[in-house]
Chains A and B, each alone.
Chain A
Amino acid sequence: MSASSVYLDAATAAPLHPVARQALLAALEDGWADPGKLYSQARRARQLLDAAREAAAQTLGVRADELSFTSSGTTAAHGAVLGGLAGRHRAGATLVHSAIEHSAVLHAAERHVAAGGVAHSVPVDRVGRLDLEAWSAAVRAPGVALAALITASHEVGTVQPVAEAAAVCGDVGVPLYVDAAQSVGRVPLPAGWSILSASAHKWGGPPGVGLLAVRKGTRWESPWPADEREGGRTPGSVNLPAVVAAAASLRAAAADAAAEATRLDPLVDRIRTRVAAEVPDVEVVGDPVLRLPHLVTFSCLYVDGETLLHALDRRGFAVSSGSSCTSSTLRPSHVLEAMGVLSHGNVRVSLHRDTTESDVERFLAELPGIVAGLRADAGVVGL
C-alpha cells in the first residue's frame, strides 16, 4: 500500500490558496503589460497593481504608499535591513538583532559587517524567547542605526515580545524592523514597528512575491541601484499576476486567520503532547503557550535528521528539519543552537488550511514506529 501524501511544511511554503489560483489565472489575462507606460493595456495593469497594493496595505494596516512588492521575502528582508541601516548611517553603524533571525536577515547583517558595520546579536532563552534585558542594553548603546526582531520564530514558533522590544526602541529613537513572514495572514501583527517584511508563499500566495513596508517618517534609503518603481524601494518589474494573486490570497487568509488559528492551535497542542508522551527521548522545543498556532518542532535523541526526513517522506509526510545533516553548510540550525536545545533528529511540522485532523492523527500514529525503527537500525535502543 502506498502512503497518501500529507504536506506538513507550510512554514516553508503553504499550498497555493484557491483564491490565489483564481486571481493568478485572471491576472495572466490582462496583467502582462508594464504598469508604467501610457497606453490602455498599461493603464489596466496599473489598475490591477494599485488595487493589489491597496488591498494588501489595508490587511497590514499601513498606507498604500508605505508598501512595496518585492521579488521575494528574502529580497524584502535584505532591503529592510540594508535600507534601514543606510537611512540611519549618520546615527551609527550598529545593527542590533536577535540570535534567531531568519538567515536572510543574518546574511544582510554579514554584508553590513563586511562593509565595516557592526552587528550585535541578542540571545534568547531555552524556549527561544528574546532576552529583553540584553535587548534593552544593546538598543540603548550609542551608535545603533537599526534593530531587527522576528515576530515569531520560523523554526520553533515562539512568539517574540515585539511590543516590549519596540517600546525600548521608541525610547531611544531606533527604528525597529520586524520579519513578519510567519505572522502575516495568520496572527494579528504587533504594534510599534517601523519596517516590516513578509513573504507571500507563507500564507498561500504564489512564490516570488515579498512585501516590504516602510512607515512614514522612517529614515530608509534604498541599498539598490536607482529605480523609480515600487516607491523606489526595490528595482525591477513586479510579477504583476503573482502580486495580484498574493494580495487576493492575503485578504482571504487574513479573513480566515482567527478561525484557522482556533482550528490548528489544538492540533499543535495535540502534537506537542502526544510526541512527548509516545516517542521516547524526544525534546519538544519552543514555548508551549506563547507560540504560533500552526508550527511545532521537536528533536529525537540519537536519530539522524536527514534519515528521519527520508523515512517520513517514504511514508508520505513532508516536514522540515533544522539538523545540520540536512543543511548545505552541515551546521546545525542557529536557532536551535541559540536556544541550547538538541539539534540532531530535528523535525519541524507546520500546518495549513488543508491540514485535517486525520492528517495529524496519521502522523502521530506512524511517528513512534518510524523513530523506533531508525533507532533499532542504528543500534541505539536503550542508550
Chain B
Amino acid sequence: MPDEVLDCRGQRCPLPVIAAARRMPQVPVGTVVRVLADDPAAAVDLPAWCRMRGQEFLAAITGPDGPAYDIRRTH
C-alpha cells in the first residue's frame, strides 16, 4: 500500500509530473507515493520522469479511483 496519495485527476500533461516532482523531495526516502492521474500521458511520463531522476517506478494500477501510479523515493 502507498504511504500517501497525490490526487492529480483532471490535470493535463505535464502537471501530474510536476506535482510528483514537487512532492517527492518533501517525503522521507523510501516513501511510496501513489499518483492518481487520468491524463493518458501520465502513463508514459511518470515512468520516464522516474528514470530521468533515478526514482523507482513501482507499478501502474487501475483502481476505484481510476489510473494510478506508485513511485518510491530512493534518494
Where the two chains meet, the residues of A that have a C-beta atom closer than 8 Å to any C-beta of B are 281, 283, 301-305, 323-325, 330-332, 336-337, 340-345, 378, 380, 383
A-B contact count (CB 8 A): 66
Pick the contact of A302: B18, B41, B43 (CB < 8 A).
Answer: B18
Q: Is B44 an interface residue (CB 8 A)?
A: yes
Min CB distance A120 to B, Å, is 21
Pick the contact of A332: B13, B22, B49, B52 (CB < 8 A).
Answer: B13
Min CB distance B65 to A, Å, is 20
Q: Which residue of B lies closest to A300 (CB)?
A: B14
Q: Is B58 an interface residue (CB 8 A)?
A: no
**For window 1-58 of chain B, which residues contact chain A by CB distance below 8 Å?**
12-14, 17-18, 21-22, 39-41, 43-45, 47-49, 52
User: For residue B45, which residues in chain A have a CB less than 8 angstroms away from its CB?
Assistant: 332, 342-344
Contact B21 A343 (CB under 8 A): no
In the assembly, what is the distance between CA of A325 and CA of B45, in Å?
A: 13
User: For residue A330, which residues in chain B have a CB less than 8 angstroms away from its CB?
Assistant: 12, 39-40
Known contacts: A302-B18, A304-B14, A324-B13. The answer to whether A336 contacts B44 by CB under 8 A is yes
In the assembly, what is the distance between CA of A383 and CA of B44, in Å?
A: 19
Interface of A is mostly: loop
Q: Which residue of A lies closest to B39 (CB)?
A: A324
Min CB distance B47 to A, Å, is 7
User: For residue A283, which residues in chain B have a CB less than 8 angstroms away from its CB?
Assistant: 48, 52
Contact A342 B18 (CB under 8 A): no
Known contacts: A331-B40, A378-B18, A383-B22. The answer to whether A325 contacts B48 by CB under 8 A is no
In the assembly, what is the distance between CA of A324 and CA of B44, in Å?
A: 11
Interface size class of B (residues with CB under 8 A): 10 to 19
In the assembly, what is the distance between CA of A380 and CA of B22, in Å?
A: 9
Contact B14 A302 (CB under 8 A): yes
User: For residue A344, which residues in chain B have a CB less than 8 angstroms away from its CB?
Assistant: 13-14, 17, 41, 45
In the assembly, what is the distance between CA of A380 and CA of B14, in Å?
A: 11
Contact A331 B52 (CB under 8 A): no
In the assembly, what is the distance between CA of A148 and CA of B47, in Å?
A: 29
Contact A383 B18 (CB under 8 A): yes
Provide 5 A-B residue pairs closer than 8 Å at the C-beta atoms, listed in order of the A residue. Answer: A301-B52, A302-B17, A330-B12, A332-B44, A344-B14
Q: Which residue of A lies closest to B43 (CB)?
A: A337
Known contacts: A302-B21, A383-B22. The answer to whether A345 contacts B48 by CB under 8 A is no
User: For residue A304, which residues in chain B have a CB less than 8 angstroms away from its CB?
Assistant: 12-14
User: For residue A324, which residues in chain B have a CB less than 8 angstroms away from its CB?
Assistant: 12-13, 39-41
Contact B13 A343 (CB under 8 A): yes
Min CB distance A351 to B, Å, is 26
Q: Which residue of B lies closest to A324 (CB)?
A: B41
List 8 additional A-B contacts (Cβ < 8 Å) besides A324-B41, A340-B47: A301-B17, A302-B14, A302-B17, A324-B40, A325-B13, A332-B41, A342-B44, A380-B18
Known contacts: A304-B14, A331-B41. The answer to whether A342 contacts B52 by CB under 8 A is yes
Of A303, A324, A344, A383, chain B has the most CB atoms within 10 Å of the CB of: A344
